Structure 1
Amino acid sequence: MGKKSISKGVIKDIIIVAVGVLVIWIGLQIAFGTPNPFYVVASGSMIPALEVYDVLMVSGHEPFNELEVGDIIVFDRPSDHNRVIVHRVASILDEDPRTIRTKGDANPASIPGTDFPITEEEYIGKVAYTLPQVGYVTQLLKPPINYVIIAIVIGIMIFKQFAKRKEEKELPFEDPMDSENPDTIEELSDIDKIEEDTEYSESTELNNVEKNDESTETKSDDPTEHSEESKEEKKE
């Protein structure tokens, strides 16, 4: 029973954590308007504006048609869509349909197939916030370190369940006569008083019955005896 209850507790904790992470992730997606609000800078093409391992928070709520020269945007590489790139808008090539050209701040020129032509189809979002160097954490989460971290978290959950069970078993028994329970003592003392009062009332009732019996016997004396005694007194 103990192992089953512990496993249930661990599963419950894991579900709570998973649901919490999922709710937060969905909330961020709604808030930023993009399936993935976070991106990590992987190259130095935007130095000094963006450093490697900076984390970018990207907003998809910024319409593509309202982008201006100088904005830093995230987009799929137009040649094959198999790589995500973050560069600065360098110029507007066309308005119908809108097409733009980008360039990395550290690059000498725009690269065809990488920096242009960028249409709304390639556009992911505009960089809203930058978290400097936070991307180093992602390096720690790569295998096998991420599995170690998961194992540690599960181990902590199991230890917490064991500790909880141990505390429940070691809870001290509370003696109802213990002085630390004044309410119980008062209740017991009240019971004693009630018993004492009952004994007193019973003895009182017995005394009253005996007195009544004595008075009845006295009143029940034969009246003829009194009359005979009075006649003898008169004769004398």
Structure 2
Amino acid sequence: MNKKSMSKGIIKDILIVAIGVLAIWIGLQVAFGTQNPFYVVASGSMIPVLQVYDVLIVQGHEPFEDIKVGDVIVFNRPSGQDRVIVHRVASIINDDPKIIRTQGDANPASIPGTDFPITKEEYIGKVAYVIPQIGYVTQILKPPMNYIIIVIVVGIMIVKQISKKKNDKGLNINDLFTKNNSEQTENHFSELDTLEKDKEYSTHVESKPLDEDNSKNNSDKEQK
């Protein structure tokens, strides 16, 4: 085989891979109703439910009006729209128009400008599936190879999930909170206070007290 034939073969293979990845990507966008159907967890604010480098599959077809307390959602940070956040819905502030407040499971409180006010404009989608630790690929490989691999893996996982209808082990985040796991869930929430604070979000909380009492409490802790 001469060099010209080899070059044509390589180009052909690259085109096949590119078309395949593009097809998977478009398919995921259509299936989940969002321009970016997956996100990589970048902080520890949702530990232990979500770990850093977990990949989230986001369902954009879930209407904002149907979001309820306890749902884990992905949204643009209200203050500045400069960051994508994944937190749990903590309360419904207003019904018409709907405004919600969120909070990271590992955070001591909701953060103004980050956790609320969340409206339909900030809402991206509800977390539908979690693929543990696959986001490490983004650290090992550089673009576009890391994204190609993630898209392929996510595509395969989704196809398998659809064909089985329901996975046996926890790709669906709702499986973490079924009746069978109610005792485990209660224990999880009771242990949140013992978790190490997420550095990024706890910095926001500590540097911007909500009231004078919080400021006093923070200063007392520093003296201790």
Same-fold call, TM > 0.5? yes
Confirm or deny that 1:131 pairs with 2:134: no
TM-score using structure 1 length: 0.59
> Pairwise mapping of residues 77-88 of structure 1 onto structure 2 (< 5 A)?
77-88=77-88
The number of residues matched between the two structures is 147
Question: Which residue identity does 1:32 align to in structure 2?
Answer: F
Which residue matches 1:104? 104
- Which consecutive residues of structure 2, in runs of 5 or more, have no partner in the other structure? 150-224
Using the TM superposition, give the Cα deviation of residue 6 of structure 1 relative to its aligned residue in structure 2, in angstroms. 2.1
Secondary structure at 2:51's aligned position in 1? Answer: coil
Which residue matches 2:59? 59
Using the TM superposition, give the Cα deviation of residue 109 of structure 1 relative to its aligned residue in structure 2, in angstroms. 0.7
> Pairwise mapping of residues 215-234 of structure 1 onto structure 2 (< 5 A)?
none
Question: 1:87-132 CA distances to partner (integer Å, 9 max, x unpaired)?
Answer: 0001111122111000001111100000000001000000001111
- Which whole-Å CA distance do the structure 2 matches of 1:44 and 1:124 have between them? 20
Q: Quickly say closer, same or farther: Cα 1:58–1:145, change in 2 above 3 A.
A: closer
- Which whole-Å CA distance do the structure 2 matches of 1:113 and 1:85 have between them? 11
- Which whole-Å CA distance do the structure 2 matches of 1:51 and 1:8 have between them? 43
Which residue matches 2:8? 8
- Which whole-Å CA distance do the structure 1 matches of 2:107 and 2:6 have between them? 57
Identity, % of aligned positions: 78
Which residue matches 1:122? 122
Question: Which residue identity does 1:8 align to in structure 2?
Answer: K
Secondary structure at 1:47's aligned position in 2? Answer: coil
The one of the two structures with greater contact order (alpha-carbon pairs below 8 A, sep at least 6) is 2
- Which whole-Å CA distance do the structure 2 matches of 1:5 and 1:46 have between them? 52
Using the TM superposition, give the Cα deviation of residue 143 of structure 1 relative to its aligned residue in structure 2, in angstroms. 6.8
> Pairwise mapping of residues 19-58 of structure 1 onto structure 2 (< 5 A)?
19-58=19-58
- Which whole-Å CA distance do the structure 2 matches of 1:97 and 1:5 have between them? 63
Which residue matches 1:176? none
- Which whole-Å CA distance do the structure 2 matches of 1:85 and 1:63 have between them? 18
Question: Which residue identity does 2:141 align to in structure 1?
Answer: L
Which residue matches 2:207? none
Secondary structure at 1:135's aligned position in 2? Answer: helix
Using the TM superposition, give the Cα deviation of residue 51 of structure 1 relative to its aligned residue in structure 2, in angstroms. 1.0
- Which whole-Å CA distance do the structure 2 matches of 1:12 and 1:138 have between them? 26
Q: Quickly say closer, same or farther: Cα 1:64–1:24, change in 2 above 3 A.
A: same
- Which consecutive residues of structure 1, in runs of 5 or more, have no partner in the other structure? 150-236
Which has more radius of gyration? 1
Using the TM superposition, give the Cα deviation of residue 145 of structure 1 relative to its aligned residue in structure 2, in angstroms. 8.8
- Which whole-Å CA distance do the structure 1 matches of 2:144 and 2:98 have between them? 45
- Which whole-Å CA distance do the structure 1 matches of 2:70 and 2:31 have between them? 24
- Which whole-Å CA distance do the structure 1 matches of 2:64 and 2:143 have between them? 37
Which residue matches 2:185? none
Using the TM superposition, give the Cα deviation of residue 18 of structure 1 relative to its aligned residue in structure 2, in angstroms. 0.5
